[in-house]
Amino acid sequence: MSFDLILFGGTGDLVWRKIMPALFQAFRHGSLPAGGRIVGVARDDLSDDQYRALIKSRFDNVELAKRPSDEEFARFAALLGYLRMDLSNPSDYGRLAARLAERPADVVVMYVATAPGLFTVVCEQIAAAGLNGPQTRVVLEKPLGHDLASNRAINKTVRGVLKEEQIFRIDHYLGKPSVQNLFALRFGNALFEPLWRRETIANIQITIAEDLGVEKRGAFYDSTGALRDMVQNHALQLLCAIGMEPPINSHADAIRDEKLKVLRSLKPWTPETLSQHVVRGQYAAGNIDGEAVPAYRDEKGVNPASMTETFVALRTEIANWRWAGVPFYIRTGKRLAGREAHIEVNFRPAPHAIFKSPLANASVANRLVINLQPQDGLELHLLAQADQRTSSRNTQSLAPVQLDLDFDKRFGSERVGAYERLLLDVIDGRLNLFVRSDEQEEAWRWVEPILDAWSSDAAGPRPYAAGTWGPSASSAMIARDGYCWSEEC
């Protein structure tokens, strides 16, 4: 199957840091379809050879195992081309159409890796140039809008020139192998599904923590914040994967229908729950790995009086028969004590204790941890009998034990990275791991009351020292229910 992949924003950070390495890995693994052509599009005045040289130099910043040898890159570079375009100039799309007409392809993928403000312009001009035929698929990166109204406006424009099945709204978390294994754990095995409900689960925690700051993205992040950057998309998609009902099959719409039901079942916000169940923070100066790091407001590109949150913790519930009364906790932030992402499913303790346990909180051992990054695997924490011989008799007691499955060690080089998987899915036309417009709008609808409350809150985000786990109010929020974050238990 021949394909053309057009990368709008072809010299940008996302392309060289994520997309090109993913395409090269697919090429190296032999999974990239033959007869492909990859064309970078940007305003820079470059020839094809200059673009290839630029991409090759960028591979020096990619982790060693994913760097091509000179011979490998020479073969990969034969797929690469470049076209200078001003995306706001309609006449330049005619030049793109002429380039594509040089060799008609079975599939044309337009990957819009640009500033969000250009999404509608690009889609409208693609259509005006007659490039929105049935063989065309358009990939839209996040953030898709700044709030519910802007998201609806983008979706309305895009749906006006493309069919829904041609639109691939990407969320790279859905392409992670660990998230794929979350679906496999739930719907490919009979072990946990009977326990996946309110009668046996006490609470579920989702943590997405970064130890990095905003790096070179200060101006972008200051207009976005942690709620829009991480909660509205990544965290809510993980919550849907945990909370959804089994779909009738593995088709894209069957899966997305069930995720939509979860989003519609999230308890709506009230003034009381907004004040008690949502915590926002902003990192102050601190230490990461023994090195001093600046406060968020001192980062390049950030307003010195910024009220943008770099941390969010919240509590919610899914108001349906399966999950009624089970709290779901989400927290995410920058400059935290570590880089990790995981989901903790905390089961209820045994209803009647007949063994002695050294743990003050037995539910700490009754839990399943789904590690997303940097480790990728499952941990099952249990209590097992430990015979402790005393001077007079054997005393039966329980001790914590752990079963640990490391997927990277088990599958090794067979693993497929998130962007590699998602790019191959776009070329093949598989929508399972992409977000439908009604899902996205429902997620914006749910977070918008939080944004509205913050806009009128003069107090602003709570400060927390870089290198910690966020404001103490986050711990107080979960403690009101009698629970604690994993590092505190």
Q: Which residues are catalytic?
A: 234
Phi, psi dihedral angles at 400 (to 5 degrees) = -70, 140
Beta-bridge mates of residue 387? 396
Distance CA 295, CA 289 (A): 16
Nearest to 130 by CA among 83, 85, 89, 98: 98
CB 6 within 8 A of CB 95: no
Question: 31-49: buried (b, 16+ CB within 10 Å) or exposed (e) per residue?
Answer: ebeeebbbbbbbeeebeee
CA distance 241 to 221: 27
CB under 8 Å to 154, separation ≥6 — which residues? 116, 119, 120, 140, 144, 145
| Sheet-wide strand order for 394-406 | 394-406, 377-389, 367-373, 340-347, 201-209, 327-333, 311-317, 278-284, 462-465
Residue 385 burial by Cβ neighbours in a 10 Å radius (0-12, 13-18, 19+): exposed
Contacts of 394 (CB under 8 A, 6+ apart): 387, 388
Strands 36-42, 80-84: pairing is: parallel
Q: How far apart are CA 158 and CA 137, in angstroms?
A: 12
